Amino acid sequence: MKRIAVLGGGPAGAFAAERLAASGLETVLLDEKLAWEKPCGGGLTYKAYREYPFLIDNDKPKKIVWDTYLSEPKAGAVKMKLTHPLVIYSRFDLNRMLLERAERAGAQLEKTRVLEMGRGASRWHIRTSGGVIDADFCIVATGARNSLRQVGTQWTRNDTMFALGYYVPSMQEHIDIQFLPKLEGYIWVFPRCGHLSVGICGKGESAQSLRKRLEDYMSLRCISWQNAAFYSHVLPSLATPAWKTNHIAGDGWLAVGDAAGLVDPITGEGLYYAMRSGDLASRMLVEERHPGSAMTTAYRAALHRDFAADLAFSATFARRVFVGRFLFGTVPARMIQFMRRSPRFHDLMQDLFAGTQPYSDLKRRLLRNLNGTLHEVVMNFFFGRLVTGENKI
Ligand SMILES: Cc1cc2nc3c(=O)[nH]c(=O)nc-3n(C[C@H](O)[C@H](O)[C@H](O)COP(=O)(O)OP(=O)(O)OC[C@H]3O[C@@H](n4cnc5c(N)ncnc54)[C@H](O)[C@@H]3O)c2cc1C
């Protein structure tokens, strides 16, 4: 029987290990920390728990959040009631739940650091801080800071963004998303059980500058970071060329999750894609339909069909979403103004938040509804002026 080593026990590795072990393959998962509070918002969209219902149907601590406020300095704020709530976990709780599931399915978990791996005639020899482990196949799930040089995506500066923030001992019941001038990213305030995750992600900007922007925002909102733990991490955000050359598989290995760069370049959502790629990779091994190098091609094709083509497409216009201009204003400002005045546009944004609106169909939906949306915006604008004397779009 094949022995599979899963390197890394975040959502990608833990879920792959669960699937492999449940299918009867001998599976060993190696992680230097096992369950830990990985820097993350911890938000799971409807798309994630629709595909994997146990993510919402369980008794683990989590926040179910229905209301989101989107803001931009010039346009102000708009409230969006989500049709499907966002489920927010602490990463310790989410990772622990996924690792427990993997262990229950029969995977062997080991707390150890993978130092290097070498390929013999047909087997891997994996050197860890605890010794050497042999395996027939490796699933590489070591995240965005993958230190194993020969496996997993190798990206340039242009393919990542910084993400940092604070765990603030405070409470609120809604999500805040704040856009800022010339920021290719956004600030978030996510309510979690017992604290808030307040963070910022941004591309092409230093961590220092992002931290300054975040602290300015927190001061303005009277959110203190005095007793808050600081976190920072790198987030894959592949640019268009990298989606084509992405090194996600090779002889005897498949990469999943952040180690394969599988993160939404616009929203930074990576949890669903980590689990989904773990699921697809494990199917490749369980089904054994693609021997040798054919598996690389088959895995790449499976990812492409499932979600990677859509994410690659979103990379072509990600920058414009944050710093582009439309009708003499910034795109985020216009987005908020349209949401306020057009129920159709509001619906579209709800679907984007739920993860049920593919990027590849966005333009078509916008054009299909253009007349109606503009009609709603214009009617709302004039009605607002007539009734309330309001004079800003
Ligand atoms: C600040 C921030 C906020 C985010 N917010 C969200 C969000 O709200 N929603 C969302 O969907 N996504 C979010 N993401 C993205 C999400 O965190 C990642 O996409 C997700 O964690 C990827 O899962 P993974 O299993 O691939 O990697 P990870 O979760 O990073 O797991 C990798 C694992 O590998 C282990 N490891 C690494 N190297 C070794 C080694 N050499 N030996 C042994 N073990 C090793 C680590 O200990 C770790 O447990 C956010 C990311 C950041 C940085």
Choosing from 33, 38, 186 the residue with most ligand 1 atoms within 8 A of its CB, the one to mutate for a pocket test is: 38
What distance lies between CA 287 and its chain's CA centroid? Answer: 27
Q: Which of 343, 341, 361, 342 is nearest to 352 (CA)?
A: 361
Q: Is the CB of 86 under 6 A from ligand 1?
A: no
For the domain covering 3-42+91-155+239-314, report its CATH number: 3.50.50.60
Q: Which of 140, 107, 98 is nearest to 7 (CA)?
A: 140
Give me the residue spans of the domains in the chain: 3-42+91-155+239-314, 160-236, 319-388
In Å, how far are 213, 215, 231, 254, 355 from 222, measured between CA atoms? 14, 10, 20, 46, 31
Q: Which residue has the tokens 């800003």?
A: 392
Q: Is the CB of 271 under 6 A from ligand 1?
A: yes
Q: Is the CB of 335 under 6 A from ligand 1?
A: no
For residue 262, give the ligand 1 atom closest to its CA: 19
Choosing from 18, 40, 117 the residue with most ligand 1 atoms within 8 A of its CB, the one to mutate for a pocket test is: 40
Q: What is the pTM of this model?
A: 0.94
CA 10 to ligand 1 center in whole angstroms: 6
160-236 fold:
D-Amino Acid Oxidase; Chain A, domain 2 (3.30.9)
Whether the CB-CB separation of 17 and 27 falls below 8 Å is answered with yes
Confidence at residue 296, expressed as pLDDT on a 0 to 100 scale: 92
Whether the CB-CB separation of 259 and 142 falls below 8 Å is answered with yes
- Pull the structure tokens for residue 375: 């009609």
pLDDT tens track of the chain, all 393 residues? 689 999 999 999 999 999 999 999 999 999 999 999 999 999 999 999 999 999 999 999 999 999 999 999 999 999 999 999 999 999 999 999 999 999 999 999 999 999 999 998 889 999 999 999 999 999 999 999 888 878 877 788 899 999 999 999 999 999 999 999 999 999 999 999 999 999 999 999 999 999 999 999 999 999 999 999 999 999 999 999 999 988 899 999 999 999 999 999 999 999 999 999 999 999 999 998 888 889 999 999 999 999 999 999 999 999 999 999 888 889 999 999 999 989 999 999 999 999 999 999 988 888 887 766 666 666 565 555 544 444 443
Choosing from 18, 32, 159 the residue with most ligand 1 atoms within 8 A of its CB, the one to mutate for a pocket test is: 32
Fold matches, 3-42+91-155+239-314 and 160-236: no
Confidence at residue 253, expressed as pLDDT on a 0 to 100 scale: 95
- Pull the structure tokens for residue 48: 């994630």
CA 13 to ligand 1 center in whole angstroms: 10
Confidence at residue 150, expressed as pLDDT on a 0 to 100 scale: 82
Q: SS3 for 167? A: strand
Q: Is the CB of 114 under 6 A from ligand 1?
A: yes
